[in-house]
Amino acid sequence: MAVTRYFSFGEESTFATAVPATETIDPESAELDPTGDQALIYEGVSRLDRIVAPGPYRSEGSVTTPVDLKVFPWFFKFAMGGYEVTGNSPSYTHRFFPHTSALMPSFTSRVGKDVFEHVFPGCVVSSIEMELDDAFLLGTVEMQAGGDEKASIAIPNWTGGEIYAPHQVNAMINGVDESAYIESFSLKLETGADNEAGMTIGSRFPRRAFRGAFMVELELGLSFFSTTQLERFWGSATGPTSGSLVEFPITINVGENMDIIVPRAVFTTMTQPLSGRDRIEQSATVRGLVASDSTGPIEFSVTNDVEKYGEPAA
């Protein structure tokens, strides 16, 4: 039986110039299609729609897939831009961090849709959300693209690596393992990518994508059997402080070879709602900040046998 559904991609050297796929995964979902109205319609005083021409053309969508050790780190690079690699075969350590470039790096996405391969050059990452509850650690990558093309269905060459169940993940808050408090989490990284601003005269399609405001937010589902986390939110043992908020580093260890590092963080919200006879479930929101040494608000460290994820940042 032939496989006709897949998601594959390759890093572009020139924005929106399609390249062959270098990675192919079997995602939970891949929703990538043209967006908006492609028709430019002149509305005259006749009150009748008579004149039409091709208008600006963009695509957008998302892919949701288990976070794996080999392929998913590409999205860290596409989202943040900053990249360094150290080590020698067979073990390399990759560091992904925010870059200050005005433009987003791009890639070509290819989606197998049963009867054809839908090709999207000029993809950029607008956000990454990583979510862990009671199943595999999942990642959802929201992306923007320009035009789209049709190609023939390819034979998938799967390139994914190890994926992670909840028991393989732990979290260090202020250097202490507090995994026993954390029932679930959702980490969202927003890049503020904007390819609509890359529209110029002479083309229906974006010529580039600009980087926007960068934001990191962590939603925590916390067990509630003490006031430890509430006191950290307050900044004191008895109630909200009038002084400085408590700041702390967070490191989430995914398996033995992937670390999510938020070097400086602060609680922004916390609740413990009562709901009938059910137990109290505590939830909190954490915001990542830039640390005093200019690292952050987030970094990813990945160790695997991949030699490099394209070229390091300039």
Question: What is the tens place of the pLDDT at every residue in 15-28?
Answer: 999 999 999 999 99
**Res 276: pLDDT:** 87
- 205/199 Cα distance (integer angstroms): 6
**For range 125-146, the mean pLDDT:** 97
Contact 176, 197 (CB under 8 A): no
**Res 46: pLDDT:** 93
- 259/301 Cα distance (integer angstroms): 5
**Res 2: pLDDT:** 84
- Phi, psi angles (nearest 5°) of residue 169: -120, 135
**For range 298-312, the mean pLDDT:** 94
Confidence of residue 314 (pLDDT cuts 50, 70, 90): low
**Res 313: pLDDT:** 61
Q: Across the chain, what does the average pLDDT equal?
A: 95
**For range 276-304, the mean pLDDT:** 95
Q: Is the pLDDT of residue 166 over 70?
A: yes
Q: Is the pLDDT of residue 312 over 80?
A: no
Task: Note if the pTM is more than 0.85.
Answer: yes
**Res 67: pLDDT:** 98
- 83/71 Cα distance (integer angstroms): 15
Q: Is the pLDDT of residue 88 over 80?
A: yes
First-last CA distance in the chain: 45
**Res 311: pLDDT:** 81
Contact 191, 79 (CB under 8 A): yes
- 250/288 Cα distance (integer angstroms): 9
pLDDT tens column, 213-262: 999 999 999 999 999 999 999 999 999 999 899 999 999 999 999 999 99
Q: Is the pLDDT of residue 99 over 80?
A: yes
pLDDT tens column, 57-73: 999 999 999 999 999 99
**For range 288-292, the mean pLDDT:** 96
